[in-house]
Amino acid sequence: MQRLWLTLVAVAGVLAASPARGQEVRAPHFEIGGIVSGLVAFGFEDGPAVVGGGGPRVTINVTPRLAIDLSAEVIGPTESSGTTALYQSQLEFPIKRSPDGKRTLSFTVGAAGIAYYRRAPEFRRPRLDGSMVVYPAYRTFQVGAPTTVAIGVAREEVVGRHVSTCLALQTYLGSLGGLAVRASVGVSFGVGGYR
């Protein structure tokens, strides 16, 4: 009889400690992670331009039906001699969830822009008369307005208590190459975990 009680207490403890199979997973308020992406822009005279990138990603889950996704990634190769970055802010609206809530398909809409950073060292050029022309070192940082509209879909999946993955496919319309297609893969860590 005592063994039956111990078995029942152990089973109750295991069921109370872990979520039931039918229990829906809820995303935490904040997710922090990173993304790797590829972008093909079709708005150039000499053919499509292909660039890759990577950087941080932050997601703020406002409600179960609305999330704000912010990302910034260094992209390249570019014709610029400095560093070029793509930044994006978008809204995510879930359109389909799995019964257990671990997989979500979302519609995304947002805006993207470009930032540039260039650092040039001091440069000295000798003249024919023996004098020297000195060009001083300088740094520039410029952020362009987010003039490109981003529309797409994203599939997120919770793979652990604190980890989720994201696969996104988007179309860009605007000054960022005219028409472009972007695919990205990311990993996020939920602050407080997925419940």
10-residue mean pLDDT profile of the chain (195 residues): values are: 50 43 73 95 81 95 92 87 91 92 93 92 92 93 93 94 94 86 94 82
Q: How far apart are CA 82 and CA 116, in angstroms?
A: 7
**What's the pLDDT score for residue 3?**
60
**What's the pLDDT score for residue 186?**
95
**What's the pLDDT score for residue 6?**
54
Q: How long is the chain?
A: 195
Q: How far apart are CA 132 and CA 52, in angstroms?
A: 41
What are the structure tokens assigned to 82, written together?
Answer: 């400095």
**All domains in the chain, ordered by first residue:** 29-190 (2.40.160.20)
* pTM, entire model: 0.76
- Local structure of residue 128 (DSSP, 8 states): T
**What's the pLDDT score for residue 88?**
95
**What's the pLDDT score for residue 15?**
41
| CA dihedral over 158, 160, 166, 167, signed as positive or negative | negative
**What's the pLDDT score for residue 11?**
44
Residue for token pair 């005219």: 178
Specify which residues 190 forms β-bridges with: 31
**What's the pLDDT score for residue 157?**
93
Alpha-carbon dihedral 76, 87, 189, 152, rounded to 10 degrees = -90
